Amino acid sequence: MCGIAGIIQSDRHPVNQAELQSMIDTLNHRGPDASGVTTRGSVGFAHSRLSIVDLAGGVQPMQSADGMLSITFNGEIYNHIELRAQLTSKGYQFQTHSDTEVILYMYAEYGPECVQQFNGQWAFAIHDQRQKQVFLSRDRMGIRPLVYTQTPSRFIFASEIKALFTLPDVERKTDLTALNQLFTFWSPLPPRTFFDNVLELPPAHSMIVKNGQLKIWQYWNLDYSPNEENRSLDDWADELRALLINATQLRLRADVPVGAYLSGGLDSSVTAAIIRNYTNAPLNTFSVVFNDQEYDESRYQQEMIQELGTEHQAVCCSYEDIGRVFPKMIQHTEKPVLRTAPAPMYLLSQLVHDNQFKVVMTGEGADEILGGYDLFKETKIRRFWSRQPDSKIRPLLLKRLYPYMKNLQAQSPAYLKAFFNIRPEELNNPFFSHLPRWELTSKLKTFFSDDVKQQLVNHNPLSEFSDQLPEQFSQWPSFCQAQYLETVNLMPGYILSSQGDRMAMGNSVEGRFPFLDYRVVEFAARIPIRFKMNGLNEKYLLKYAMRDLIPESIRKRPKQPYRAPEAHSFIDTKKQKARFEYVNQQLSPDKLKESGLFNPTAVQRLVKKIAEGRAIGTRDNMALVGILSTQLLVEQMINKQPVAAGNNDPGLAALLA
Amino acid sequence: MSSIQSEVRDFVADNFLFGEDPESLNNNDSFLETGIIDSTGVLELVAFIEEKYSVEVDDDELVPENLDSIDQLINFIESKLKELA
């Protein structure tokens, strides 16, 4: 795992090595073990390396033996051994044992379509001197990041936006369309990022830069059409299990020890159990535990630890810890967040790093591909209810769905009905499953400044998303549509990025995701819906396929979404004041006016409500986290001002006055 | 404006309206239809009524007919206060 950067001068000027060096220096956290810069005329690549495979031989940027191809690569190609054998049989000779060299010759042999044969997670650029072009590609699910921008004289790319911002001709400006999308979907729609004119290469896309022109195309897509109904449950379970075991084994290919996250939930329990039972690798596991019992899952973590007999470490996370790492965390996410959940993941990767591990296996992706999320159940219940809209009983299923939401539990049927009310015109809306979440999130826009509201008046994020849906979408069953939306939107935009790659790489740790092996993903898309969600039993096939490896207490426990304390991490309701000076500062009317994005009076009301302990709902908590993270991002990345989590400090009085 | 009316309006403005102009809310606007209240908001309203007016709200009173507009809230609070009197 590593950081990459590059400059392609469209004006044919030679690339300035010092500029490349300044770019790659900002990505040191992604690859602290070594760094390299190479230039060839108007093309220059840089690389910072976290050595994992072929510690001695895998130095980058790397060139082909004939010197005509060079590459800078972040990621892993897990099937590099098989691909190497394939290339060797065609006469290719290798100088190293690294997967990087395999990519080079796969490209030499197959051209841009070589990525179809890759099983892994990647973001890379290859300079092809014969074709006078640069080929860039990003993995199917969007695990590894790749951002770029264009100025009149050049094309610039990197793993993270901060590297682009080291160059004087790259403007630092907020993209309001992206802001509007983020305050709807939790993440801008690709290719937008939070910053104007800074784009990402979307997941499953490749790109060629030639003569200053960009050609971008999608090389892979999800398809839920072929739903094979005639296979038995056992048949499906056997194949899922075999695939997951193989996907896990492939992901243990590393020349350094591999650890595993253990959340206490089903998915990470499955990956850890496979490592224990189907590999010879030593098993070191890592967990977050919370002071606040509402979020803590250590009871279930302990059960798995005992079941598997792992070497285990845990980091305990308090409100203060979340508030303390938050400014740093935002430097890494490079986009606003509406939840604090990435912060504990940052503390967790620090724990992994402190224990000298560079690689961790996690259960990410299982909920999306195998049907785990509550949102899928909610969709099912709302569909079921919509067939008998006057039913008094059907909406009560919603209470069963969210046992951990106290506020919902207290609601009368009349209100439940009002809140989850399904308007008849929504039944055929492609976003049926996601409308409640997106409408709730959109409520946060009430905090936008009048100026921002005015500029966004004709924007419609839902129709922008609608334009991106594939043609087949309308043919898929409702359940699969919901799965698709989660898999292309929230997963790459938030789960794998803000909560995933950025938090892990912030401490030089690489995440690996057996559930996101493309063979598992393609297989899962074909599983009949009733085997994904049996009644309201989520991830049914996974539980069934792994029933001998996972204790019943884990398989049968109610699903708990991973969450972390929100507003209380920043504002102490007991003392009625901010825990950190930066919170006061960033939410002060002056700072809010300076960024111009939020309405100071509205924010003041919110802060007062939170300080007085009256903000108990999701909306208010999300609003605070969203506003604060946006302010921190503007301060750190646009105003270039460092923000430190100073001491707890009085001063909220000024805000409350 | 009655004191209950102004108290209720202030509470709604401070806790639910945030960036919206409080004047834009009419006394008979539905909280649900205008989208200014969510499932938590209902409980916040109930907590406000119970604390401010020292009354108890029963579960079966947790219905939109009692709580869904400024006018409905005023009526509800007044009727609860009468019960106490």
What is the DSSP annotation of A565-598? --GGGTEETTTTEESSHHHHHHTSHHHHHHH-SB
Of B37, B10, B34, B35, nearest to B23 by C-alpha is: B10
Q: What are the pLDDT digits (tens) for A436-463?
A: 899 999 999 999 999 999 999 999 999 9
Mean pLDDT of the region A75-95: 97
Q: How many CB atoms lie within 10 A of CB A419?
A: 18
Residue A356 is given by DSSP the state T
CB contact under 8 A, B39 and A408: yes
Question: Which residue among B32, B40, B59 sits closest to A407, beta carbon to beta carbon?
Answer: B40
**Domain spans of chain B, in order of start:** 3-84
Confidence at residue A651, expressed as pLDDT on a 0 to 100 scale: 46
A176-185 helix and A435-442 helix, angle to the nearest 10 degrees: 130
Rounded CA-CA distance A10/A20 in Å is 16
Rounded CA-CA distance A378/A479 in Å is 10
CB contact under 8 A, B64 and A415: yes
Confidence at residue A299, expressed as pLDDT on a 0 to 100 scale: 92
Beta-carbon contacts of residue A113 (< 8 Å; ≥ 6 apart): A219
Higher pLDDT, B37 or A100: A100
Q: Label residue B32 by pLDDT band (50, 70, 90).
A: confident
Q: What are the pLDDT digits (tens) for A389-431?
A: 888 788 788 877 777 777 777 777 778 777 776 778 888 899 9
Domains of chain A, each with CATH number or no CATH: 2-218 (3.60.20.10), 372-398+409-476 (no CATH), 567-656 (no CATH)
Of A206, A224, A192, A223, nearest to A493 by C-alpha is: A192
DSSP labels, A276-293: HHH-----EEEEEEESST
Residue A274 has pLDDT above 50, yes or no: yes
Rounded CA-CA distance A437/A419 in Å is 12
Question: Which residue among A418, A446, A617 sits closest to B32, beta carbon to beta carbon?
Answer: A418
Name the minimum distance, in Å, from the CA of A417 to any CA of chain B. 10
Q: Label residue A1 by pLDDT band (50, 70, 90).
A: low
For A413, the token pair is: 């049927």
A139 touches A123 (CB < 8 A): yes
Q: What are the pLDDT digits (tens) for A105-118?
A: 999 999 999 999 99
Confidence at residue A421, expressed as pLDDT on a 0 to 100 scale: 67
Name the minimum distance, in Å, from the CA of A447 to any CA of chain B. 5
Name the minimum distance, in Å, from the CA of A383 to any CA of chain B. 20
Confidence at residue B36, expressed as pLDDT on a 0 to 100 scale: 85
Rounded CA-CA distance A632/A615 in Å is 22
Q: Which residues of B touch A (CB under 8 A)?
A: 13-15, 17-20, 32, 35, 38-44, 47, 59-60, 62-64
For A454, the token pair is: 């005015």
Q: Which residues of A touch B18 (CB under 8 A)?
A: 446-447, 599, 602, 605-606, 623
Q: Which residues of A touch B13 (CB under 8 A)?
A: 605
Confidence at residue A206, expressed as pLDDT on a 0 to 100 scale: 98
* % of chain A beyond a pLDDT of 90: 81
CB contact under 8 A, A407 and B18: no
Q: Label residue A653 by pLDDT band (50, 70, 90).
A: very low
**Residue B28 main-chain phi, psi, to 5 deg:** -105, 10
CB contact under 8 A, A447 and B18: yes
Residue A534 has pLDDT above 70, yes or no: yes
Mean pLDDT of the region B6-27: 89
Q: Which residues of A touch B (CB under 8 A)?
A: 407-408, 410-412, 414-415, 418-419, 439-440, 443, 446-448, 599, 601-602, 605-606, 608-609, 614, 616-620, 623
CB contact under 8 A, B39 and A605: no
Q: How many helices (H) and strands (E) does chain B have?
A: 5, 0
CB contact under 8 A, B43 and A447: no
The identity of residue A180, as a single letter, is: N
Confidence at residue A657, expressed as pLDDT on a 0 to 100 scale: 39
Confidence at residue A408, expressed as pLDDT on a 0 to 100 scale: 74
Residue A341 has pLDDT above 60, yes or no: yes
Confidence at residue A6, expressed as pLDDT on a 0 to 100 scale: 98
Q: What are the pLDDT digits (tens) for A212-240?
A: 999 999 999 999 986 677 899 999 999 99
CA angle (B67 as vertex; B66, B70 as ends), nearest 5 = 110
Classify domain B3-84 at the CATH topology level.
1.10.1200
Q: Label residue B19 by pLDDT band (50, 70, 90).
A: confident
Smallest CA–CA distance from A621 into chain B, residue: B40
Smallest CA–CA distance from B22 into chain A, residue: A602
Q: Which residues of B touch A604 (CB under 8 A)?
A: none
Rounded CA-CA distance A62/A81 in Å is 18
Confidence at residue B1, expressed as pLDDT on a 0 to 100 scale: 64
A32 touches A508 (CB < 8 A): yes
